[in-house]
Structure formats: C-alpha cells, structure tokens
Amino acid sequence: MADGTKPPDRPVNNRPANNGPANNGPANNGPARQELQRGGEAVYRPRYAHIVGWGSYVPEKVITNHDLEQIVDTNDEWIRSRTGIAERHVAADPKETSVTLAVAAARKALEVADVPAGKIDLIVCATTTPEYAFPATACLIQDALGADNAGAFDLSAACSGFVYGLAMARGQILAGDAEYVLVIGTETLSRIVDWTDRGTCILFGDGAGAVLVAASEVPGGILAVDLGSDGSGGNTLILPAGGSALPTSLETVSSGMHYLKMDGKAVFRFATRVMAASTRKVLTRAGYTPEEVDLVVPHQANLRIIQNSVLNQLKIPEEKVFINLEKYGNTSTASIPIALCEAIAAGKLRTGHKVVFVGFGAGLTWAACAIDWRTPIDKAEADWWKNTRRQATYSAAAARSMWRRAVRWVYDVLPDPEAKGQDARRDREETGVQEGADEEG
Ligand code: UT7
C-alpha cells in the first residue's frame, strides 16, 4: 500500500491576482497562466496538475469464490476463467460505508503528500454507491476530514468516474481555480448487488482509493484526458429503482429493482472497443506512442477485457499493465486508484514514467488520461510528531463537526423569539385586542 512513502518536493503556485488563463503552451499540454505584473506587464507562468498523494483502503472481510459456491450456483473455476477474480473485500460491518472507506483512503493520500486537509480546495467523490442521493458523499467526507476550505461534489460516471474526477481536478488546477484537489473513488457495491444473481454478485467488491492532485510549475503531470459517453446503452448496466423514474416502493423492492442489473455480454463488447480507442486518443494527445508507455492502470473489471483491449489491440506487453482484480474484483470507481497504490508499492512506477489510466462503465461511459509521472516515490521515515499532529487534527475535525451539529440542535429546540412575537401578534389579532389596549384600558 501507499503507506510510509515520502511526500514529493513540488513547487506550488500562489494564486495569481487575475483570472483568465491563456493556453499558449506546447501543443500537447503546457497551459500557461497569464499574470499581470506591477506596471501592467504580462508574464506567462506554466501550470501543471500532478498527483502528489495516493492512498487506498479496503474492508477486512474477504469473500472467496469458494464462499460464493455456498450462496449461488457457481464455481471457482468458472469465475477465475471468465473473469480472473479469486476473491473480493466486502463491507460486512454496517458501520463501514462509502464515506468511512473514502476517509481512510483520503487520509493516506494526504499523509503521502504531507498536505493538511485545510489546504484542499475541492473534493471530487466519484461513486456509484453514494451514502445518500443527497447530500453528496463528498460533503460528508469533507466534514470527516476537516477540509474546511474545500468545495465538494459527487461525480456520477460509474466505473469511469475516477478518471472523470482527475479530468475535473486538472481543469480546476489549470484554470487557476484550485491548488489542491482531492479525487476519490469509493464503493460499497455489496449493498446494491443481488446476492442471488450469479451473473453479477461474483464480480463486484468494496473499497476506496484517493489521490491528491496539486498545482505545480514543474512540467508533466496529467497531460491529456479523453472522456466519452453513450447513453443509448444506459440500460445495459443500471440500478433501476430509487431515482425519479422509478421511486422506491413496495413493488420495486419486492421485484428486486433496487439491485444492480447488467447485460454482461453487451458491456463486455462495449468495454473491449472503448478501452483501446480511448487509450489511443490520450496517447496521441500527450504525444506518446503505445511503445513508449511504461505503465497502464486499467479499470479492473475482467481480465479478459484487459487482455482483449490493452494487451491485444494496443500490443502493450503484460508486464506494463498492472492488474490486481484477482484480489478485489471490480470495485468500480475505486479500482484504478487502488491498483495505482499497489503498483506504486510494488515498485512499478518511477519518476519520468509515462502512465495511462483507462476505464469504462455504466452510462455508458469511458475515460482515459495520460500522465507524465514526476512525483518521487521514495520511502519516508516514520515521523512520530507529524503522525501525532495529524491524528490531533482529525480529532479536532470530529469535535468541530459535533459542535456544529450541537449548535444547530440548540437553534432547533430553543424558541425562536421572532416567531414568538409573531404568534403573540396573531393571538392579539384573533382575540380583537388592539396594540396598546392594556395601557389605554
Ligand atoms: O465495470 C463494468 C462492469 N461490468 C463488466 O465489466 C461486465 C462485463 N462482462 C463480463 O465480465 C462477462 O460478460 C461476465 C463475466 C459477466 C459473463 O461472462 P460471459 O463469458 O459473458 O458469460 P455468459 O453470460 O455468456 O454466460 C455463459 C454461461 C451461461 O450458461 P449457458 O447459457 O451457456 O448454459 C451462464 O448462465 O455461464 C453461465 N454463468 C455462470 N456459470 C457459473 C453465468 N454466470 C455464471 C456463474 N457461474 N457465476
């Protein structure tokens, strides 16, 4: 895992006084910010978006293929040969939710970057299993982290969501609107999976991954992104009930419409097509060839999809493609950041590497990004003082959140003096007593 790795040295821009970035850099990247100096002279400062922190977290409970044999009509051999999956982690404890998994992953990412939560400008939470329809899961994460200066929103692009989130982070940073953006993929898919449907329950797992994206003048980072969608395939992977089209009712629950439904074959065909095409697009935009790529971190849905697309169509050799779905199954938005953390821990990523993330999912959606990785990955010494201080800030964040809730509660239970005045006025009007009648009478 990403624990214990050293934060990178990275120059972080100060927010310039004016708006309006000017994209006058090299063709494939290099947006530059125009800053007006004293005297009105314009200077152009390059601005790049780098991943500077990473972390992941999965729940403890593991369900193996053999465990699934006890639940549905399946077997280890079928699951391994058709998907590559051997086991998956599930949030068995009801207290474990998409938020708690995300917070654990995000704290690790902040630790690696050595950036306090108070510096985050924006939290983008990609998830298909949000805590609620609203409020946004990102807001609950913001509160738990004590990220008091951050905007926060959820991003719904299913398994492509994490790469969509990176694209949002890059855009915010290159526009000069943010210095630090926390991008999270978090899932508790075990809560929306039909455990009697062998076509889907064998595939999915729970977990979270997070990265901190920072502004920098160091060339490189997230060079290019490709985002795509095809809503005509929306019904091939869908959670039918619980939205405005089919609100939850006794009927939707009794017919199991609150569970994920999938046409596996259709999704498979779509995935093998778009993974290669989207990868090609970002490589062209970044000015890379497939031969130059050092590491591909694909969405971990099915080993055969990765083989048919990245390996066979793009001819990128197996040793350059990081695959860990055997241990986690498909964790949707969390699969790429979890795999990234493991790739880093396994020594697969070094400064100067050309990296691609590519994913696909419900929507239908797809997304890829090309990265010129510049962040050092060396191990850091454990720092007792820093760890203690960090723990103290998390406790302070929890206390602050409780205090704010308590203040709201007090406002709710205390009689509102203004409302009391209005009530008294209405009583007087209803009983025909005029203002000042007491004194006069
Ligand atoms: O993040 C995006 C999420 N979704 C995906 O990535 C899904 C993409 N699709 C897939 O990964 C594959 O389509 C699956 C793994 C879901 C299914 O693999 P498949 O090779 O397309 O199998 P299939 O649906 O064509 O089923 C083949 C046979 C069927 O039996 P018959 O009709 O040939 O007798 C199924 O009933 O396998 C049967 N089957 C199973 N057998 C044992 C389906 N599921 C299972 C199972 N265990 N779990």
Q: State in Å: Cα 82 to ligand 1 middle.
A: 7
As a dihedral over the C-alpha atoms of residue 336, residue 337, residue 342, residue 343, rounded to 10 degrees, the angle is 70
Tell me the pLDDT tens digit for each residue of 13-47.
Answer: 433 333 333 333 333 345 556 666 667 777 778 89
Tell me the pLDDT tens digit for each residue of 123-152.
Answer: 999 999 999 999 999 999 999 999 999 999
**pLDDT on residue 418:** 72
Q: Are 328 and 58 in contact (CB under 8 A)?
A: yes
In Å, how far are 95, 142, 280 from 356, measured between CA atoms?
A: 35, 28, 10
Architecture of 26-37+44-241+254-380 per CATH? 3-Layer(aba) Sandwich (3.40)
Q: Which of 13, 29, 308, 330 is catalytic?
A: 330
Residue nearest to atom 20 of ligand 1 (CA): 82
HSE on the CB side for 253, CA within 13 Å? 3
Q: State in Å: Cα 79 to ligand 1 middle.
A: 9
Q: Are 147 and 174 in contact (CB under 8 A)?
A: no
Tell me the pLDDT tens digit for each residue of 185-225.
Answer: 999 999 999 999 999 999 999 999 999 999 999 999 999 99
pLDDT-derived band at 383 (thresholds 50, 70, 90) equals confident
**pLDDT on residue 420:** 65
Q: Give the C-alpha separation, 213 to 242, whole Å.
A: 33
Helix (H, G, I), strand (E, B) or coil at 403: helix
**pLDDT on residue 8:** 42
Strand-pairing partners, residue 441, are none
Query: What is this structure's pTM?
Result: 0.88
**One-letter amino acid of 330:** N
Q: Which of 361, 335, 367, 79 is nearest to 236 (CA)?
A: 361
Residue nearest to atom 11 of ligand 1 (CA): 302
159 included as an active-site residue: yes
Residue nearest to atom 1 of ligand 1 (CA): 361
Neighbours of 13 (CB within 10 A): 18
Q: Give the C-alpha separation, 192 to 238, whole Å.
A: 11
Atom of ligand 1 nearest to the CA of 74: 47
Helix (H, G, I), strand (E, B) or coil at 213: strand
Q: Which of 13, 50, 65, 299 is catalytic?
A: 299
Q: Give the C-alpha separation, 181 to 374, whole Å.
A: 17
Atom of ligand 1 nearest to the CA of 267: 8
At a CB cut-off of 8 Å and minimum separation 6, what does 83 contact?
202, 203, 302, 303, 304, 325, 329
Tell me the pLDDT tens digit for each residue of 73-97.
Answer: 999 999 999 999 999 999 999 999 9
Tell me the pLDDT tens digit for each residue of 43-57.
Answer: 778 899 999 999 999
Q: Are 399 and 386 in contact (CB under 8 A)?
A: no
Q: Give the C-alpha separation, 50 to 73, whole Å.
A: 46
Q: Give the C-alpha separation, 208 to 227, whole Å.
A: 22
**One-letter amino acid of 287:** G
DSSP alpha helix (H) spans, 320-432: 325-328, 335-345, 384-413, 417-431
- The domain locations on the chain are 26-37+44-241+254-380, 385-440
Among 98-102, 349-353, 414-418, the least confident range: 414-418
Q: State in Å: Cα 402 to ligand 1 middle.
A: 47
